[in-house]
Chains A and B, each alone.
Chain A
Amino acid sequence: MSTPLIWIVIPIGFAGVLALLHNKPKLSSILTCVFTLGLVVLALVFPKDLAFVLPDQRIEIPSSLVILNRTVQISGESLTMVALLYAITLLWNLGNSVFKVSIWFNALSLVITALWVTVLSVIPFLYAALLIELIALLSVPLLSPRGKKTDLGLLRYIVFETLALALILLTGWMLSGVSAVPAASPLLLRASIMLLFGFALWIGAFPFHSWMPMISQTSAPLAVSLLLGLMQTALSVFLLTFLDQYAWLRNLPQVYTSLRWLGVIMITFSGLAATLQQNLARHFGYLIIMETGYSLLAISLTPQGGLPYLAMLLLPRVLSYFLWGWALSGIRQLQPEASFEQGSLSGLYHTFPLLSMSILVSMLSLLGFPLLPLFPQKQMLWLLTAQNAPETIPFVIIGGLVMLTAILRLFRLFIQPKGKKTSPNPAGEPAKLIVPIILMFIVMLAMAIAPQVILPRMLEILAPFTHLTLF
């Protein structure tokens, strides 16, 4: 028994069992939720030194597993991240039991999560590029179910991930003999450019972002929010692995400046683009781009202490994504013909008061609005940015203000009367949709009021990056 066996091999095997049970969705959902809950709890309570002390003996669980001459290693310090990834899967699988996104949702979400854990654990870590490509391929049935024409956004997603794979692997090969190369070598510059370019393709950075709003519009909101949420969370941490492993990379001042400007451009651009959108579902793509921008901004402030805020952004951000996915899925379940085009959103509040408000709350939360869970971390990030890179602040403000304008425009649309006397949806919003929303509001409020209770645990995510936390 080893940690990769527990959190990678067994989940993948279990997903195989779930695939066999795909025509029994209820049983499959219950099994997935219980199993992922078990993985989350185990990851949280597992001793950090991976040793169990019994009265008469000490049992140590190995942290690595050798597969085809390469190692997969999950140390005790990485278990908080593992717990977070499986917690995300648990939350979305609970959602799937209500909305029934796809009969393959349980099995695929579990395999994809196990692969993301492998991405963060494989040695040499550059092999993760191939696993990310596999994840993209496995996501296809969830993003484009049968009965829907193949979407161009999905094709672009696969193309970009394939190009990124080539760039990252080539970078890895270039860097294999880098210790013998002087710091000012053109080889290093070439490798850095290819690495950043590969990352930009992976995370959908401007101008490689177009697939995100496209798949947000055409795919099931719950599936999109899970896949993009997992991707963003894991890739943010994976970028830290690069910076931690390559001393020359983190010592290049241009790297942090490039990351900062890339992040700021993404924040500004996503805000501007969101104001121009005519379809509500597409907003999610731009929210993801904005949040990736904030992740890059936090990473770029590593020498100034920005990393803790990156770690503390992860959980509240995921909760906001879940709220968004839940609300849109709820509306689509109650109104299967809902297209989310601007014209059809008028008076949405009068039909679905709580669901429509959930959409706005999730957007405001991601924007960093006071009294919502992302506010404390974003406030600190704005402060750090203002102190260390004041030239970027006008762009961050513009991005935030235009995103706020987009949200207020949606708010105006939601509350305006439809012209004739409007009445709430006769069927109303069923309790099974409302109760989780209320619970989520309570959790988010608690997190906003007392961030010191839960969020410090998230700082453990940074423990494996010993070179970065020394800053």
Chain B
Amino acid sequence: MNISWLFIPAGLMLLAAEVNLTRRQWLVNLVALAVQYLSMFLLLTSVRAPSFALIKLIVGWMATLVLYITLASVGEFYAVKGPQRLSSGQFFRLLAGLFMIVFTIVFLPQIQSLFLMEGNQPLLLAAVGTMLLGLLQVSMISEPFYIILGLLTFLSGFELLYASLELSLLLEALFAGINLGLALVGAYFLVKDAEIEQP
């Protein structure tokens, strides 16, 4: 089976994670998150039946929707900002993220032998790259919304990797619960902090 087309969703997934790591505009971040889940779905179709892969897409988009509705409803505190130039911090995160992606590409053969996955390079590249970018995000930022975004990114990478290793219905159900739980916790943090900022 020709899987070279899978490098397109893999690249899209990494790009979305890189955008979330770099930019601080919640609407852009949520669009990137939705794209990330779509790419994840496309990659998953190479190892799973489309009906199974669709579960991850629906759950991911539901999580994105929960965050979108919350951010849209908490009003001016989280107002949408227009396009902004990159600040020095954002530029630094961009470079750090690029470094991680290059690192993943360079060491891909070693990572492949570690996970005994000889065939599916695009899936492994997207999974490990996204996990590293998610890790970078949670370690560089202290705002609750972006930490939740980082965790969702990390988990989507991990789920992609694990989906190619093991299939279990209970595991799928628990992962869905965790993703939705993380989104709800993120929404809870947003509402709570907005209430304090603008009583």
- By a beta-carbon cutoff of 8 Å, the part of chain A in contact with chain B is 67-70, 127, 130-131, 133-134, 137-138, 140-141, 144, 146-150, 152, 155, 158-159, 162-163, 165-166, 169-170, 173, 176
Distance (Å) between the CB of A195 and the closest chain B CB? 16
Q: How far is B178's CA from A141's CA once the two chains are assembled, in angstroms?
A: 16
Q: Which of A130, A138, A147, A158 contacts B151 (CB 8 A)?
A: A158
Specify the chain A residue showing the minimal Cβ separation from B178: A133
B170: A residues at CB distance < 8 A:
67-70, 127
Beta-carbon contacts of B181-199 to A below 8 Å, as 1s and 0s? 1101100110111011000
With A68-B173, A166-B131, A173-B165 in contact, do A159 and B147 touch (Cβ < 8 Å)? yes
6 smallest beta-carbon distances between A and B, as pairs? A130-B174, A137-B181, A68-B169, A68-B170, A70-B170, A150-B144
**B144→A169 contact, CB < 8 A:** no
A137: B residues at CB distance < 8 A:
178, 181-182, 184-185
- By a beta-carbon cutoff of 8 Å, the part of chain B in contact with chain A is 131, 135, 138, 142, 144, 147, 151, 154-155, 158, 162, 165-166, 168-171, 173-175, 177-178, 181-182, 184-185, 188-189, 191-193, 195-196
**B174→A127 contact, CB < 8 A:** yes
**A155→B166 contact, CB < 8 A:** no
B155: A residues at CB distance < 8 A:
162
A159: B residues at CB distance < 8 A:
138, 147, 151
With A69-B168, A127-B170, A127-B171 in contact, do A149 and B196 touch (Cβ < 8 Å)? yes
30 CB-based A-B contacts, threshold 8 Å = A67-B170, A68-B168, A69-B168, A69-B170, A70-B168, A70-B170, A127-B171, A130-B171, A130-B174, A130-B175, A130-B178, A131-B174, A134-B174, A137-B178, A138-B181, A144-B189, A147-B196, A149-B192, A150-B192, A155-B142, A158-B147, A159-B138, A159-B147, A163-B154, A166-B131, A166-B154, A166-B158, A169-B158, A170-B162, A176-B166
Q: Which of A134, A144, A163 contacts B177 (CB 8 A)?
A: A134
With A131-B174, A152-B142 in contact, do A173 and B151 touch (Cβ < 8 Å)? no
Distance (Å) between the CB of A9 and the closest chain B CB? 14
B165: A residues at CB distance < 8 A:
173
Specify the chain A residue showing the minimal Cβ separation from B165: A173
**B185→A140 contact, CB < 8 A:** yes
Distance (Å) between the CB of A186 and the closest chain B CB? 11
A70-B170, A162-B154 given; name 18 further pairs at CB < 8 Å: A68-B173, A127-B168, A127-B171, A130-B175, A138-B181, A140-B185, A141-B188, A144-B189, A144-B192, A147-B195, A150-B192, A150-B193, A152-B142, A155-B144, A158-B147, A158-B151, A159-B147, A166-B131
Q: In terms of DSSP, what is the predominant structure of the interface of chain B?
A: helix
With A69-B168, A69-B170 in contact, do A146 and B178 touch (Cβ < 8 Å)? no
Distance (Å) between the CB of B64 and the closest chain A CB? 17
Distance (Å) between the CB of A118 and the closest chain B CB? 10
Q: How far is B165's CA from A150's CA once the two chains are assembled, in angstroms?
A: 36
Specify the chain B residue showing the minimal Cβ separation from A190: B114
Q: Which of A127, A141, A149, A176 has the most CB of B within 10 A?
A: A149
Q: Which of B138, B170, B171 has the most CB of A within 10 A?
A: B170
**A146→B192 contact, CB < 8 A:** yes
A147: B residues at CB distance < 8 A:
192, 195-196
Q: Which of A67, A127, A159 has the most CB of B within 10 A?
A: A159
Distance (Å) between the CB of A93 and the closest chain B CB? 23
With A130-B171, A150-B192 in contact, do A162 and B151 touch (Cβ < 8 Å)? yes
Q: How far is B185's CA from A140's CA once the two chains are assembled, in angstroms?
A: 7
Distance (Å) between the CB of A175 and the closest chain B CB? 12
Distance (Å) between the CB of A219 and the closest chain B CB? 13
Q: How far is B185's CA from A155's CA once the two chains are assembled, in angstroms?
A: 10
**B178→A140 contact, CB < 8 A:** no
Distance (Å) between the CB of B110 and the closest chain A CB? 13
Q: Which of A134, A170, A173, A176 contacts B178 (CB 8 A)?
A: A134
**A150→B189 contact, CB < 8 A:** yes
Q: How far is B142's CA from A158's CA once the two chains are assembled, in angstroms?
A: 13
With A137-B178, A144-B192, A152-B142 in contact, do A158 and B185 touch (Cβ < 8 Å)? yes
Q: How far is B142's CA from A165's CA once the two chains are assembled, in angstroms?
A: 21
Specify the chain B residue showing the minimal Cβ separation from A160: B138
A158: B residues at CB distance < 8 A:
147, 151, 182, 185
B177: A residues at CB distance < 8 A:
130, 134
Q: How far is B158's CA from A176's CA once the two chains are assembled, in angstroms?
A: 18
A150: B residues at CB distance < 8 A:
144, 189, 192-193
Specify the chain A residue showing the minimal Cβ separation from B166: A173
Specify the chain B residue showing the minimal Cβ separation from A137: B181
Specify the chain B residue showing the minimal Cβ separation from A122: B170
Q: How far is B174's CA from A69's CA once the two chains are assembled, in angstroms?
A: 13
Specify the chain B residue showing the minimal Cβ separation from A141: B188
A144: B residues at CB distance < 8 A:
189, 192
Specify the chain A residue showing the minimal Cβ separation from B161: A170
Distance (Å) between the CB of B169 and the closest chain A CB? 4
A134: B residues at CB distance < 8 A:
174, 177-178, 181
Q: How far is B177's CA from A69's CA once the two chains are assembled, in angstroms?
A: 17
Specify the chain B residue showing the minimal Cβ separation from A69: B169
